[in-house]
């Protein structure tokens, strides 16, 4: 089975220069960004459970959460329990056009934190949006077309113990050079594989291959049918 991602409009998602606005506002030096549902299908609980230790070690790290939060009460109680309210921003629902601002003002994108047997089919749009803005991300396995470990992001596994998962996030918070390297790789991959122009060329090429294959087979069927009819009429 061949799957083409719908692609990214690189006129909508792109890196821009002024990326310190939220850092000045929060008084922090690193921002983790989570965009999307906090439901169990995305493993949000697996992610948030790592944060108390990380945020206590890194007092100048903040977490931004965008989109619908059906379990707001749980999250508020959780961050109060661990006294990390000042390092959290629950931003609620934002229009897609504002994602550009928040992605560019963050340092590390958060992908999925849940394992799936259908991993090869997952091409998370939000991860490609991070890449288009030259930001790396951390995720459990998704399609290798999007990320291999240490190319455009960090791939972890849910069966890693908590220390391994925590250490990977801490490494990204502390290693600015690695973030820049993987973010740069992501932008290159988007321009090569995931912008709309490239995607449309792929779809057109695949369509022509299918059309040509079908036409060739139809021609063969017509020739065989003609020969069979001729043989029948001649009594051969």
Per DSSP, the residues of 29-45 read SEEEEEES--SGGGTHH
pTM: 0.82
In the chain, the percentage of residues whose pLDDT exceeds 70 is: 77
The strand pair at 88-92 and 61-66 is best described as: parallel
Say whether pLDDT at 122 is over 50. yes
- In sequence order, which residues have a C-beta less than 8 Å from that of residue 23 and are 6 or more positions away? 29, 31, 105
Structure tokens at 127: 């991860």
Question: Is the per-residue pLDDT at 160 higher than 70?
Answer: yes
Greater confidence (210 vs 232) lies with 210
Q: Is the pLDDT of residue 1 over 70?
A: no
What is the mean pLDDT of the segment spanning 9-31?
93
For 127-138, what is the mean pLDDT? 95
């Amino acid at each position: 089975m061949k799957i083409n991602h719908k692609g990214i409009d690189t006129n909508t998602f792109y890196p821009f220069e002024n990326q310190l606005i939220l850092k000045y506002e929060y008084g922090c030096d690193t921002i983790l960004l989570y965009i999307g549902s906090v439901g169990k299908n995305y493993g949000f609980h697996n992610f948030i459970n790592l944060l108390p230790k990380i945020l206590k070690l890194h007092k100048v790290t903040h977490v931004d959460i965008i989109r619908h939060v059906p379990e707001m009460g749980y999250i508020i109680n959780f961050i109060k329990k661990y006294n990390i309210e000042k390092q959290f921003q629950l931003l609620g629902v934002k229009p897609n056009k504002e994602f550009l601002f928040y992605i560019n003002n963050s340092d590390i994108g958060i992908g999925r934190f849940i394992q799936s047997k259908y991993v090869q089919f997952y091409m998370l749009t939000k991860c490609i949006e991070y890449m288009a803005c030259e930001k790396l991300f951390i995720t459990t396995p998704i399609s290798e077309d999007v990320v291999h470990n240490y190319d455009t992001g960090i791939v972890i596994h849910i069966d890693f113990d908590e220390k391994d998962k925590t250490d990977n996030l801490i490494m990204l918070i502390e290693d600015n050079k690695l973030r820049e390297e993987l973010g740069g790789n992501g932008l290159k991959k988007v321009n090569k594989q995931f912008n709309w122009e490239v995607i449309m060329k792929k779809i057109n090429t695949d369509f022509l291959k299918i059309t040509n294959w079908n036409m060739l087979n139809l021609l063969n069927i017509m020739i065989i049918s003609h020969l069979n009819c001729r043989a029948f009429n001649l009594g051969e």
